[in-house]
Structure 1
Amino acid sequence: MADQIEQLLVAASQADRASEQTLEQYVEQNFAEFCRALATIIAEEQRGMQGRQMAVLYFKNLLAGQSAAVQTQKHDRWKALAPEVRQEVKEKVLQTLLNTQVAGLPHFCAIVAAEIAVIEMPFKEWPTFSQSLAITANPNASEAVKVAALECLGYTCERLAQVEELVPNVPELDAGVVDSMLTTIVDGAQPDKSDNMRRAALQALKNSLIYIRKNMETKAERDFIMTAIAEASRSQDESIRQLCFGCLDIICDQYYDFIAEYMTHIYNMTTDAIKSDQFEEVKMEAIEVWTTLANVEQDMLFTERQTQSMGFPLERAPCPNYVMAASEHLLPLLLQTLTQVEEDVEEETWTLQASASNCVELISLTIEGRILQFVVPFVQQNILSPDWKFRDASIVAFMSIQEGCPTEAIGNFVRESLSVMIGAFKDPSPVVQSSAVHCVGTMCKLHLDALQPQAVRGILEAFLEKLSEGPAMSSRCCTGIYNVAKSVARQFPGDPPNSNLLSEPMRYLMPKLLALSDRPDSNEHNLRVASMSAAAALVSASAMDVQGIFRELLPHIIDRTKLVLNTHVISQEEKDAREQVLGSLCGLFQTLYQRMDTADVIDRTTEVMNLLMQILQVNNISCHEEAFFAVGAVAANIEESFLVC
């Protein structure tokens, strides 16, 4: 049987559908014998590598599922096999991993062994698994086999975490099993081991960290783990250093209460890497450690404030404020890192600058207005630098602290910097322009109350001028306009005022925003949705003195909706774009009916309802949601007349 299955596996790898179907029939008709045959193919050294690899991959797919139902079904099928069949398969796979001389095969065997271990170890059904892989100190084992053993432990922890997310009530691993695995893993990470072993060990350690709480609670074991990580930070291999900080990041998140005695070392390791490491990936992982610390402390401080406000005693020791203590020296490093930016980088790419900016933002949310003393001098010193990278860094730095600083703390700086920020809209560097628009948009979202009405109008005029540029810039300006509108709306939470600072700009902004959705490039950088969302936000924030604009706008939106509904689409991309526009138009109908007088809409309401009913026939859930919201707004506006529509 093994010979025939090997032939079918090789054929199936060439997309031979008949062979695939025959293999599926074998699985359904005699799963036990099929598993034994796969194990035989994997174990027998005289067989070709292709067939053995395919047997491994097919076996893995028999055991791994992408959903809870499928994963449970596959695990149950394996556990239904006779114990002797499972034992035979496990022995063949594990012995092949530990003894084969074929290059690359131990790695593949590690994958299958891990999948089986994930099923059995939580139920204490493979007690010898972890001990069998404790070979990192065995002088008779080859490096390839030692690496594969470490990979197997890493895969096991990784897959177990994935299964636990999918399938409820998976039993915890036995403490003895965790101890055995951890001992092997940390031994493999020691400086006297090869770089290949250390990489595999540190990846396995990273995957295992969520299972080692009991070990971290014991100082001697904790020291053993933290020493191995500290040693890895000094490796000449950049991937080992990167894994070191990845482990440290998880430890700071999962075991924050145990890191006090190591904080000096953590600070030194991370800041040395941020300052001096030659590889961006390592710098980013080191920065992420502080992002995580800031996130943890932000949550702790919030809980403390909530607890104290309710008059309850704290359930744990007060936050030690490691982030605040480190800020004086850490923030200058992060701000300097913001200057490490390149042109022509995709907007959504996670870069070193993005990592540093995110960390500064999290620190600002943690220490709040106290961050100004560290960041404001950097901004003032570099905002007019002849080097565009420093100009950009100063803008990004200012943007990064805005959410963490209350308006009363940052308001003066917002007012003082606004003219320079708007001037940067015309900076020679496109990167600086983009950052400046984003920064001003963030100001408008968080600190509009700090600005005078005339300053806000100047911002809107600056955004308007940039709307004629490329889709990325136009979309960002739309977001800025949206933020202004939302902030103005918050200033008048009740009935709309007779007039507000949007009344005058509304006349020139609304036509421009609606025209953006007709641009050939409006499907790029979310421009179409951004423009329509900004238009809807302007309507929602409007005052009473712009009703005349809305009376002109409603027929325009009706005509536009008819045009879109009657547009013939062929490709999926065209269909998606059409449905996106329809959803946005529903949003405009909703806001218009929420703002306009009944007398101004009643004559067109039957027409609007017919259009909304057509949109409800479109096979798109998002469109349906937007249409129902719009119908609700129509009903609320015209009340008893709604039944006539």
Structure 2
Amino acid sequence: MRLLRVVILGSLHSRFIEKALPYLVPMLLETLLKQKEDQDQDDGIWNVSMAGGTCLGLVARTVGDAIVPLVMPFVEANILKTDWRSREAATYAFGSILEGPSVEKLAPMVHAGLDFLLNAMKDENSHVKDTTAWTLSRVLELLHTPSTGFSVISPANLQRVLGVLLESIKDAPHVAEKVCGAIYYLAQGYEDAGASSSLLTPYLPDIITCLIATAGRTDGGDSKLRSAAYETLNEVVRCSNLTETSHIITQLLPVIMNKLGQTVELQIVSSDDREKQGDLQALLCGVLQAIIQKLSSTDETKAVILQASDQIMVLFLKVFACRSSTVHEEAMLAIVD
């Protein structure tokens, strides 16, 4: 932990970190191998491996391209080992250095490593899958920007990427939550991407179906999976090409309205039940807000909202009667839109 503080302070003085790289990076990489067999990915407890990865990320952001040749030999040496700790550490190291180095430096190794990451989503070890999903999310957040002319995702590999993500979203909650993050950034990358924005359109029905199913999982409350699924759904709606997807978004509207209506009928016998009801209603009101904003952006699709406006207002009035300040805020935002 002391090392983390040193790196944070050292990052303020990049020349100091650059001079220490040959000694510092190997020490940080070694900490990545100190995972605990029974560690819970969702317990939020700070450990040595997490600290090492955070330090490595700070170093990458400080020194840029210089970090890559020092880390990639570790990744290549450990990524195929039978010991899960080695595979997980290699993936964690890879994901930790994606912010800082230039796209030109990262592009070759990311293109070469993407297929491996997709295959690793079927790893036998849950820790490896968890870290792989996080790394894929980082790749899509930082290196999937069609509007700038560069993206690790292409028409040739999009179907495979989405196929893996939509299958992996059925995995354990802590893995599925990170897969939601990957889908979130995949959709976000196509926003304002010109002709490229159409690439996601054929897959939109399957993406929406999977996200709704994920939000409805009985273990959806674990790892904040339910909120991650609905937040991702919001982003998918927001970033979609309305010219091509208006019918899909229109069909989604009654589905979400029905789900919100069902929450009003839930039997509430305890304060915990009330809290869960409020959380779910807030999420669904957020989705309705995203749909309303999207469909209200053109005169043609705005008519859909006007036709459903009375029913929507009745739903919101029922939500207000549930006496949850958080839900009231979300409902009011949707009404204002």
Aligned to 2:7: 291
Aligned to 1:591: 290
Counterparts of 1:501 and 1:343, CA distance in 2: 41
Aligned to 1:419: 115
Note the C-alpha offset of 1:320: 6.3
Note the C-alpha offset of 1:403: 2.1
CA contact (8 A) 2:190 2:196 kept: no
2:19 aligned with 1:325, yes or no? yes
Counterparts of 1:417 and 1:579, CA distance in 2: 42
2:58 to 362, 366, 369: 362
CA contact (8 A) 1:291 1:358 kept: no
Aligned to 1:512: 210
2:306 to 574, 583, 602: 602
One-letter amino acid of the structure 2 residue matched with residue 564 of structure 1: T
CA contact (8 A) 1:457 1:501 kept: no
2:310 aligned with 1:611, yes or no? no
- Aligned pairs for 1:442-521 (under 5 A) are 442-449=138-145, 450-451=151-152, 452-489=154-191, 491=193, 500-521=198-219
Aligned to 2:265: 566
Residue 199 of structure 2 aligns to a residue whose secondary structure is coil
2:88 aligned with 1:392, yes or no? yes
Q: Assess, with a 3 A threshold, how the Cα gap between structure 1 residues 499 and 482 changes in structure 2: closer, same or farther.
A: closer
1:77-132 Cα offsets, whole Å, 9 max, x none, are: xxxxxxxxxxxxxxxxxxxxxxxxxxxxxxxxxxxxxxxxxxxxxxxxxxxxxxxx
One-letter amino acid of the structure 2 residue matched with residue 608 of structure 1: I
Q: Assess, with a 3 A threshold, how the Cα gap between structure 1 residues 621 and 432 changes in structure 2: closer, same or farther.
A: same
- Aligned pairs for 1:78-227 (under 5 A) are none
1:195-238 Cα offsets, whole Å, 9 max, x none, are: xxxxxxxxxxxxxxxxxxxxxxxxxxxxxxxxxxxxxxxxxxxx
Note the C-alpha offset of 1:491: 3.5
Q: Which moved more, 1:416-425 or 1:498-507?
A: 498-507
Q: Assess, with a 3 A threshold, how the Cα gap between structure 1 residues 294 and 402 changes in structure 2: closer, same or farther.
A: farther
2:38 to 332, 344, 355: 344
Counterparts of 2:14 and 2:239, CA distance in 1: 43
One-letter amino acid of the structure 2 residue matched with residue 454 of structure 1: A
One-letter amino acid of the structure 2 residue matched with residue 626 of structure 1: E
CA contact (8 A) 1:290 1:359 kept: no
Question: Which runs of 5 or more structure 2 residues have no equivalent in the other structure?
Answer: 146-150, 296-300
1:214-263 Cα offsets, whole Å, 9 max, x none, are: xxxxxxxxxxxxxxxxxxxxxxxxxxxxxxxxxxxxxxxxxxxxxxxxxx
Counterparts of 2:14 and 2:136, CA distance in 1: 34
Q: Cα RMSD over matched residues?
A: 1.9
2:104 aligned with 1:408, yes or no? yes
CA contact (8 A) 2:28 2:52 kept: yes
Aligned to 1:557: 256
1:535 to 211, 226, 233: 233
1:308-346 Cα offsets, whole Å, 9 max, x none, are: xxxxxxxxxxx4621111012110111122111122212
One-letter amino acid of the structure 2 residue matched with residue 459 of structure 1: V
Provide the TM-score with structure 2 as the length reference.
0.90
Note the C-alpha offset of 1:422: 0.8
Note the C-alpha offset of 1:529: 0.3
Aligned to 1:371: 67
Note the C-alpha offset of 1:485: 1.7
Counterparts of 1:409 and 1:326, CA distance in 2: 21
Residue 614 of structure 1 aligns to a residue whose secondary structure is helix
1:545 to 241, 244, 251: 244
Residue 190 of structure 2 aligns to a residue whose secondary structure is helix
Note the C-alpha offset of 1:392: 0.9
Counterparts of 2:34 and 2:213, CA distance in 1: 37
The alignment covers a number of residue pairs equal to 323
- Aligned pairs for 1:18-33 (under 5 A) are none
One-letter amino acid of the structure 2 residue matched with residue 426 of structure 1: K
Provide the TM-score with structure 1 as the length reference.
0.48
CA contact (8 A) 2:32 2:49 kept: yes
CA contact (8 A) 2:191 2:197 kept: no
CA contact (8 A) 2:316 2:331 kept: yes
Counterparts of 2:304 and 2:110, CA distance in 1: 41
Residue 426 of structure 1 aligns to a residue whose secondary structure is coil
CA contact (8 A) 2:260 2:284 kept: yes
Counterparts of 1:408 and 1:498, CA distance in 2: 21
One-letter amino acid of the structure 1 residue matched with residue 35 of structure 2: V
Counterparts of 1:375 and 1:294, CA distance in 2: 19
Counterparts of 1:514 and 1:486, CA distance in 2: 18
Counterparts of 1:456 and 1:546, CA distance in 2: 18
Note the C-alpha offset of 1:370: 1.9
Counterparts of 2:190 and 2:268, CA distance in 1: 38
Counterparts of 2:35 and 2:196, CA distance in 1: 47
CA contact (8 A) 1:343 1:431 kept: no
Note the C-alpha offset of 1:498: 9.5
One-letter amino acid of the structure 2 residue matched with residue 458 of structure 1: R
1:146-184 Cα offsets, whole Å, 9 max, x none, are: xxxxxxxxxxxxxxxxxxxxxxxxxxxxxxxxxxxxxxx
CA contact (8 A) 1:582 1:623 kept: yes
One-letter amino acid of the structure 1 residue matched with residue 230 of structure 2: M
Counterparts of 2:321 and 2:110, CA distance in 1: 48
Note the C-alpha offset of 1:430: 1.5
One-letter amino acid of the structure 2 residue matched with residue 386 of structure 1: T
Counterparts of 2:49 and 2:267, CA distance in 1: 44
Sequence identity, in percent?
25
Aligned to 2:148: none
Counterparts of 2:7 and 2:265, CA distance in 1: 50
Q: Assess, with a 3 A threshold, how the Cα gap between structure 1 residues 480 and 498 changes in structure 2: closer, same or farther.
A: closer
2:336 aligned with 1:632, yes or no? yes
Aligned to 1:429: 125
CA contact (8 A) 1:499 1:545 kept: no
Note the C-alpha offset of 1:536: 1.0
The structure whose RCO (Cα within 8 Å, separation 6+) is larger is 2
Counterparts of 1:491 and 1:350, CA distance in 2: 38
Counterparts of 1:524 and 1:320, CA distance in 2: 40
Aligned to 1:335: 29
Question: Which runs of 5 or more structure 1 residues have no equivalent in the other structure?
Answer: 1-283, 298-318, 634-645
Note the C-alpha offset of 1:437: 0.9
Larger Cα-atom Rg: 1
